[in-house]
Amino acid sequence: MSSLIKPYFFILLCFLLSCNDQEKTASEYIKDGIKFTKEQQYDLAISAYKKAIKSEPKNAFAYYALGGMYTLKNMHEKAIKVHKKAIELDPDFPDPHYSLGFVYEKLGRKKEAEEEYSLFKKLKKSKKIRKYPDSHIM
Protein backbone atom coordinates (compact mmCIF):
# COMPACT_ATOMS: atom_id res chain seq x y z
CA MET A 1 0.00 0.00 0.00
CA SER A 2 2.73 2.48 0.87
CA SER A 3 4.40 1.84 -2.49
CA LEU A 4 1.23 3.15 -4.16
CA ILE A 5 1.09 6.27 -2.00
CA LYS A 6 4.67 7.39 -2.71
CA PRO A 7 4.16 8.16 -6.43
CA TYR A 8 0.96 10.06 -5.70
CA PHE A 9 2.62 12.02 -2.93
CA PHE A 10 5.46 12.96 -5.27
CA ILE A 11 3.02 14.06 -7.99
CA LEU A 12 1.01 16.09 -5.47
CA LEU A 13 4.17 17.73 -4.13
CA CYS A 14 5.33 18.66 -7.65
CA PHE A 15 1.92 20.09 -8.45
CA LEU A 16 1.84 22.19 -5.29
CA LEU A 17 5.34 23.55 -5.89
CA SER A 18 4.57 24.44 -9.51
CA CYS A 19 1.38 26.26 -8.52
CA ASN A 20 3.02 28.44 -5.89
CA ASP A 21 2.84 31.63 -8.01
CA GLN A 22 -0.83 31.05 -8.74
CA GLU A 23 -1.67 31.48 -5.09
CA LYS A 24 -0.26 35.01 -4.86
CA THR A 25 -2.52 38.03 -4.94
CA ALA A 26 -1.98 41.13 -7.03
CA SER A 27 -0.86 42.95 -3.88
CA GLU A 28 1.81 40.33 -3.23
CA TYR A 29 3.08 40.59 -6.80
CA ILE A 30 3.16 44.38 -6.44
CA LYS A 31 5.18 44.05 -3.22
CA ASP A 32 7.58 41.79 -5.10
CA GLY A 33 7.79 44.34 -7.89
CA ILE A 34 8.54 47.15 -5.45
CA LYS A 35 11.27 45.04 -3.85
CA PHE A 36 12.80 44.29 -7.25
CA THR A 37 12.55 47.97 -8.21
CA LYS A 38 14.44 49.00 -5.08
CA GLU A 39 17.08 46.37 -5.90
CA GLN A 40 17.27 47.74 -9.47
CA GLN A 41 16.20 44.38 -10.88
CA TYR A 42 13.91 46.00 -13.42
CA ASP A 43 13.19 42.96 -15.58
CA LEU A 44 12.05 41.03 -12.51
CA ALA A 45 9.95 44.02 -11.44
CA ILE A 46 8.32 44.14 -14.87
CA SER A 47 7.52 40.44 -14.60
CA ALA A 48 6.02 40.90 -11.12
CA TYR A 49 3.84 43.83 -12.23
CA LYS A 50 2.63 41.87 -15.25
CA LYS A 51 1.67 39.00 -12.95
CA ALA A 52 -0.20 41.47 -10.73
CA ILE A 53 -2.12 42.69 -13.78
CA LYS A 54 -2.89 39.13 -14.84
CA SER A 55 -4.10 38.38 -11.32
CA GLU A 56 -6.16 41.58 -11.08
CA PRO A 57 -6.67 43.20 -14.50
CA LYS A 58 -8.34 46.30 -13.07
CA ASN A 59 -5.53 47.20 -10.67
CA ALA A 60 -4.52 50.73 -11.67
CA PHE A 61 -1.49 50.75 -9.39
CA ALA A 62 -0.03 47.69 -11.14
CA TYR A 63 -0.30 49.46 -14.51
CA TYR A 64 1.22 52.63 -13.04
CA ALA A 65 4.14 50.66 -11.58
CA LEU A 66 4.69 48.80 -14.85
CA GLY A 67 4.73 52.12 -16.66
CA GLY A 68 7.43 53.33 -14.29
CA MET A 69 9.60 50.35 -15.18
CA TYR A 70 9.07 50.92 -18.89
CA THR A 71 10.07 54.55 -18.41
CA LEU A 72 13.28 53.53 -16.62
CA LYS A 73 14.12 51.21 -19.50
CA ASN A 74 13.36 53.93 -22.09
CA MET A 75 10.44 51.92 -23.48
CA HIS A 76 8.42 55.09 -23.89
CA GLU A 77 5.55 53.90 -26.08
CA LYS A 78 4.85 51.00 -23.72
CA ALA A 79 5.05 53.39 -20.76
CA ILE A 80 2.51 55.71 -22.38
CA LYS A 81 0.15 52.83 -23.08
CA VAL A 82 0.16 51.42 -19.53
CA HIS A 83 -0.01 54.84 -17.83
CA LYS A 84 -3.07 55.62 -19.95
CA LYS A 85 -4.56 52.29 -18.88
CA ALA A 86 -3.95 53.17 -15.21
CA ILE A 87 -5.73 56.49 -15.77
CA GLU A 88 -8.60 54.76 -17.56
CA LEU A 89 -9.04 52.36 -14.64
CA ASP A 90 -8.81 55.06 -11.97
CA PRO A 91 -9.18 58.61 -13.30
CA ASP A 92 -8.75 60.05 -9.77
CA PHE A 93 -5.32 58.47 -9.23
CA PRO A 94 -2.94 61.42 -9.77
CA ASP A 95 0.44 59.69 -10.03
CA PRO A 96 0.02 58.14 -13.50
CA HIS A 97 -0.70 61.64 -14.83
CA TYR A 98 2.64 62.87 -13.49
CA SER A 99 4.48 59.85 -14.90
CA LEU A 100 2.77 60.22 -18.25
CA GLY A 101 3.74 63.89 -18.29
CA PHE A 102 7.33 62.90 -17.57
CA VAL A 103 7.38 60.49 -20.53
CA TYR A 104 5.84 63.10 -22.82
CA GLU A 105 8.45 65.61 -21.66
CA LYS A 106 11.26 63.14 -22.41
CA LEU A 107 9.83 62.74 -25.91
CA GLY A 108 9.60 66.51 -26.47
CA ARG A 109 5.81 66.50 -26.40
CA LYS A 110 5.65 69.62 -24.26
CA LYS A 111 1.94 70.44 -24.61
CA GLU A 112 0.84 66.93 -23.65
CA ALA A 113 3.31 66.94 -20.74
CA GLU A 114 1.92 70.22 -19.42
CA GLU A 115 -1.65 68.88 -19.65
CA GLU A 116 -0.73 65.80 -17.63
CA TYR A 117 1.19 67.81 -15.03
CA SER A 118 -1.81 70.11 -14.69
CA LEU A 119 -4.16 67.15 -14.15
CA PHE A 120 -1.72 65.73 -11.61
CA LYS A 121 -1.72 68.99 -9.60
CA LYS A 122 -5.51 69.25 -9.77
CA LEU A 123 -6.02 65.69 -8.56
CA LYS A 124 -3.42 66.05 -5.80
CA LYS A 125 -5.33 69.06 -4.43
CA SER A 126 -8.69 67.30 -4.51
CA LYS A 127 -10.26 66.11 -1.27
CA LYS A 128 -10.68 62.53 -2.48
CA ILE A 129 -9.22 59.77 -0.36
CA ARG A 130 -6.19 58.24 -2.03
CA LYS A 131 -6.50 54.54 -2.75
CA TYR A 132 -2.75 54.13 -3.13
CA PRO A 133 -1.07 55.82 -0.16
CA ASP A 134 2.30 54.24 -0.94
CA SER A 135 2.37 55.24 -4.60
CA HIS A 136 5.14 57.78 -3.93
CA ILE A 137 7.64 54.94 -3.62
CA MET A 138 7.62 54.48 -7.35
Q: Give residue-wise pLDDT tens across range 78-94.
A: 999 999 999 999 999 99
Is pLDDT above 50 for 17? no
CATH superfamily, with its number, for domain 26-137: Tetratricopeptide repeat domain (1.25.40.10)
Contacts with 132 (C-beta within 8 Å, 6 or more apart), sequence order: 60, 61, 64, 93, 95
Q: How many degrees, rounded to 5, is the angle at CA 61 between CA 112 and CA 117?
A: 25
Which amino acid, 86? A
Tell me the per-residue pLDDT of 48-72, one tens digit each, with 9 for 90 and over: 999 999 999 999 999 999 999 999 9
Q: What is the mean pLDDT of residues 18-26?
A: 67
Going from N- to C-terminal start, the domains of the chain cover: 26-137
Contacts with 23 (C-beta within 8 Å, 6 or more apart), sequence order: none
Counting Cα atoms < 13 Å in the Cβ hemisphere of 56 gives 19
